[in-house]
Structure formats: structure tokens, C-alpha cells
Amino acid sequence: MNSRINVLIIDGSSTWALSVVNCLSQCKDYKLFVLSSKKRTATKYSRYISHYKYCKKNSDVDWLRFINNEIESNNISVVVPVAEEEIRFFIKHSNQISKTANIIPLPELKDFETAVNKLYLSKFMSNHNLPQPKSFYIKNLESYKNIAQSIHYPILVKPLKGKGGDGIIKFDSVKNFEKHILNEELFVQEYIEGYDIDCSVLCLNGKVLTYTIQKGNMLGHNAYAPQLGVEFLDSDTVILVTRKLMSDLNWSGIAHVDLRYDKNTNDYKIIEVNARFWGSVEASKFAGVNFAELLIQTTLGEKNEFKPYKHIHYLRFKGVLKKIKRKPLSIFNFKDILSNTEVISVLKDPIPMLYKFREWLGRALFFNGIYNAF
């Protein structure tokens, strides 16, 4: 690249915006601009940001006007929506975005909506002979009675849409589950004995351009939350299944596919698709695949071919803290702490993490005050 490229990140308040900023900071040819519907976010305080602007999101018309004004005022070359809400917005309104900027590759709206809704995705995978857990949609108590005999326990009850494992409940018996059923929509999957494994991809017109495969090795705040540590590995079967899914969806852009190894059938089943950036995107960068940078290169017409990634172990910042709590003396193993962990990113740009801690402390004190009041 001969000149700096102005990159506009739309949703600065999203969970994954700061990770995308950290990934893009590795390329000095990018000048980063961030828009947000929140006045203060961790991303705002990153030293890698050249410009942060807040706008209250009153309507789609106002938001479009604001985005286009920022694109034209700052000579933006590439626009990057990070989370699903803004990705959906750009798919719907791409023809109304200023033509002076390039929008990252995105899927068609129908394919996007299929991917992000667990029920739609389950039906899609059934129609395309893709491996998945046995799944059920329960509209109400009456519909449950029609399928009750077909359900084998244990099961997982999941919200049709959600993130980070929120709202997932495991039931080991029909008795416990039936106490939970009300007249509300439920998506149910039979629980698979095995382990979780993920495949992160960058695609164009259904073709996987590059990918990483990672397996969690340190639990988050619950069994279904994103892992605090991952290890990168190869699996011909995982990428084969993922390639077929992305091809059938005719996917363009980034995605993070959650799968689970089934030890009873010795295969991998697709659990869900995260049609956005993901929590371990920085880990992939450490392994040698910088998805955020490759996405921008693809947007600008550069060719990207798959390159083998490193088989490393990586810990999020919370994972490092958890490890130190378990083994206090490990705090003196500086080489380990500074190798393939989020600590490096935090030390280079500490203020966003301090802001996150301040937010967490404020919430903790607030809820503690409510608890003591009762």
C-alpha cells in the first residue's frame, strides 16, 4: 500500500469492536475512524483511533445521513460493520451508502437471516444434508405434546437468537424440562457428548478464502460462554463441513462457525453460525491470520490465498487472570504471560481495559446496592 487507507468502523459500541481495532492497528497504512450510538465505550479510548464520533440512533434515515456524512467528510475508503445488527443494516441499505466508500463483502439478506436464526439454520441444514444435532421447535405446550416422544435427553434449550451462550439451559430429564415449558417459543437441541470446536472463515461468493480452526481449553463464566483460552489445530473434517455450509449459503464476508465433536458417531455437527466478528479474532491474528486486515484487502480487490496458521495456545486477558488465580506463582512466568496472550494488547493500549474495569465495577456496586436494599 502506497498511501494511508481511511477505515470506518460503524458500531464502536459492539462487543467485538475493540478486538477489530487491535487487529487493524497492526497495519500502519490504516487510519481508523469509529462511529458509535453510545457516547462512551472502551473503543473510544483506544490510542489506535484517529476519530470517534457519537450519534444517537433515532431512525434509519438519520443513521444513513450520519454515516454518509462521515464517509464523505473523512475520505473513507472502506466501511466495516462489526456486529450482526449493523451488518444487517448494511445489507439492507447498501445501495444508499455513499459510493465513495467500499463496503466489506456481505451475504445476501435471506442467507444472513438464515444463518443468524437457529430455527431457520436448522431447517436449512436439514434440506442440504449438513450434520447437526437433532433439533426441535416448540411453539407452545400443545406443539410440545406432539413431539414429546421424539426427544431424547439430555437436551439444551436455546433462544432463537442470542450471543455468548446467553440463555442456554441444559435439562437432563423430561420431568425437569416440562416444568420449564410455558406458552412461549423454544428451540431445543439434543445434547451431544463430546467437545466444542470452531472454524473462523473469510469467504467470497461461497468460497472459503482463508480460515482457522480452534478448540477451547479454558471455560468462560459458564459452560456455554466463549472460552477464555483456545488452541489452534487442523481438521480436514471440520473445514470440509464448514466449506459445504458456506458454499450452500453462498456466503460472503466473515463468519465464525460453532461445531461440536460427537464422540458417539465420531463426526462433527454444526451448532450455529456467528455472522459477525468473534471473541477470538485476536487469537487468530496471533496464529498468523489477521481476519480484519484480510477482509479489508479483499474489499479492495486484493487476492487472498490460504496460508497455514500456527498451532498455538492463546489466552484472553480474563484467561490469564484465571490462570494466575489458580496458580499464583505463574505471575512470575513473564515469558509465558507475554507469549500469545491478550496481555500484550492490553499493555500496548491499556486505557480501554481500564475503562472496561471501571464499567464492571460500577455495575457490581450498583447491583450490590440493590441486593443490600432488600
Q: What is the pLDDT of residues 275-307, one digit of tens each?
A: 999 999 999 999 999 999 999 999 999 988 888
Closest CA to 318 of 254, 240, 201, 230: 230
Of residues 255 and 369, more confidently modeled: 255
Domains of the chain, by residue range, sit at: 5-103, 134-190, 194-341
User: What are the E-state strand segments in the chain?
Assistant: 5-9, 30-36, 49-54, 78-80, 102-103, 135-138, 155-158, 169-171, 186-190, 194-204, 207-218, 229-232, 253-262, 267-274, 313-315
User: What percentage of the chain exceeds 70 in pLDDT?
Assistant: 94
Distance between CA atoms of residues 130 and 24, nearest Å? 34
| pLDDT at res. 1 | 46
Mean pLDDT of 327-344: 83
Domain 194-341 top-level CATH class: alpha beta
Mean pLDDT of 56-60: 91
Please indicate whether the domains covering 5-103 and 134-190 agree at the CATH topology level. no
Phi/psi at 278 (nearest 5 deg)?
-140, 170
- Under a CB-based contact definition with an 8 Å cutoff, are residues 202 and 208 in contact? yes
CATH superfamily of the 5-103 domain:
NAD(P)-binding Rossmann-like Domain (3.40.50.720)
Mean pLDDT of 198-206: 98
Closest CA to 55 of 11, 19, 85, 88: 11
Q: What is the DSSP string of 258-305?
A: EEEEETTTTEEEEEEEE-S--TTHHHHHHTT--HHHHHHHHHTT----
Of residues 323 and 364, more confidently modeled: 323
CATH topology of domain 134-190: Dna Ligase; domain 1 (3.30.1490)
User: What percentage of the chain exceeds 90 in pLDDT?
Assistant: 67
| pLDDT at res. 287 | 96
pLDDT tens for each residue of 71-115: 999 999 999 999 999 999 999 999 999 999 999 999 999 999 999
| pLDDT at res. 305 | 82
Range in 89-93, 224-228, 256-260 with the lowest mean pLDDT? 224-228
Cell 504471560 belongs to 337
C-alpha cell at 178: 416440562
pLDDT tens for each residue of 176-197: 887 777 667 889 999 999 999 9
Q: How many CB atoms lie within 10 A of CB 82?
A: 28
Mean pLDDT of 54-66: 93
Distance between CA atoms of residues 257 and 108, nearest Å? 18
pTM above 0.75, yes or no: yes
In order of 112, 135, 170, 187, 275, the CA distances from 117 in angstroms are 9, 13, 20, 10, 10
